[in-house]
Amino acid sequence: MKICVHGIPGFPLGKRNVKDPRLDQAHELVEAKKKVYAQVDAVGEDDMVTADAILSAEAAFPDLLLHDLEFIENRLGRDPVAAEKAVLDKLQAELEAGLPVNRVALVPEEQEAIAAHRFLTQKPIVIAGAGEESDPDSLILRAYTQGGFISFLTVGGKENRAWTIAQGATAWEAAGVIHTDIQKGFIRAEIISFADFAAEGGETGAKRAGKQRLETKTYVMQDCDVVNFRFNK
């Protein structure tokens, strides 16, 4: 995941750990040689177009609206077809009212009319209040979750680790994040919800309490599921 940092001077860029306290808790409950957080790339404004989400200072948020307004004005000046013009007019009015594109309700036909365009405010935007800008770890975690990503955990042995997947990803897709061989040979996923994992004192206790479930490759992963994948080698 790539998070663009906008208007927050001194924010550390580069590879950043997503310091989710649930992984810390898992590490206390299950013995492993090391703990590995999920990671994101925090990038500067030059990489904003390719970012998955934008982390913006509150004072800098209007700049994002202005960028999209300028794009729309330029596009309207090129005499677009009626369907596209109608959507651009609608977005222009909403942006001028301070509403980002990602909060404007568009029907599928309207979305199709502007599918070739990439508005900055169409991306998930996380606003950092003035009092939050000095806490990068908290902001990274918030941008990660509000940006449409979740983690799943694998525990025990060499490492207790959080892995990044998009919200809505299946167990089969999650297996591929670890290794393509696991995905190709997928048999089933052994799942323990994090709530059950924590309540029963870890993986062993959850299994003894009958909290582990067997799921197929179409199972939609839930945030912080504890997973063991069975696969043909």
Q: Which residue type is seen at 178?
A: I
| Four-point Cα dihedral 219, 155, 146, 218, nearest 10 | -10
Q: Which residue type is seen at 1?
A: M
Q: pLDDT tier at 233 (50, 70, 90 boundaries)?
A: confident
What's the pLDDT at 129?
Answer: 86
Q: How far apart are CA 99 and CA 68, in angstroms?
A: 11
Burial class (CB in 10 A: 0-12, 13-18, 19+), 2: middle
Q: Which residue type is seen at 197?
A: F
Spatial strand order of the sheet with 186-192 comes to 32-36, 157-166, 149-154, 226-231, 186-192, 213-215
**Summary count for the chain: helices (H), strands (E):** 9, 11
Q: pLDDT tier at 231 (50, 70, 90 boundaries)?
A: very high
* Residue ranges per structural domain of the chain: 2-145, 168-231
pLDDT at position 130 over 90: no
In tens, the pLDDT along 63-82 reads: 999 999 999 999 999 999 99
pLDDT at position 131 over 90: no
Q: How far apart are CA 102 and CA 114, in angstroms?
A: 13
Superfamily of domain 168-231 in CATH is: Beta-grasp domain (3.10.20.30)
CATH assignment, 2-145: 1.10.150.300
In tens, the pLDDT along 180-216 reads: 999 999 999 999 999 999 999 999 999 999 999 999 9
CB neighbour list of residue 146: distance below 8 Å, 6 or more residues apart: 53, 124, 126
DSSP sequence for 211-225: --EEE-TTPBP-TT-
CB 181 within 8 A of CB 233: yes
Dmax (CA) of the chain: 67
What's the start-to-end Cα distance of the chain, in Å? 29
In tens, the pLDDT along 133-186 reads: 989 999 999 999 999 999 999 999 999 999 999 999 999 999 999 999 999 999
CB 31 within 8 A of CB 127: no
Q: What are phi and psi of 32, to 5 degrees?
A: -155, 160
CB 32 within 8 A of CB 160: yes
Do the domains 168-231 and 2-145 match in fold?
Answer: no
pTM, 2 dp: 0.88
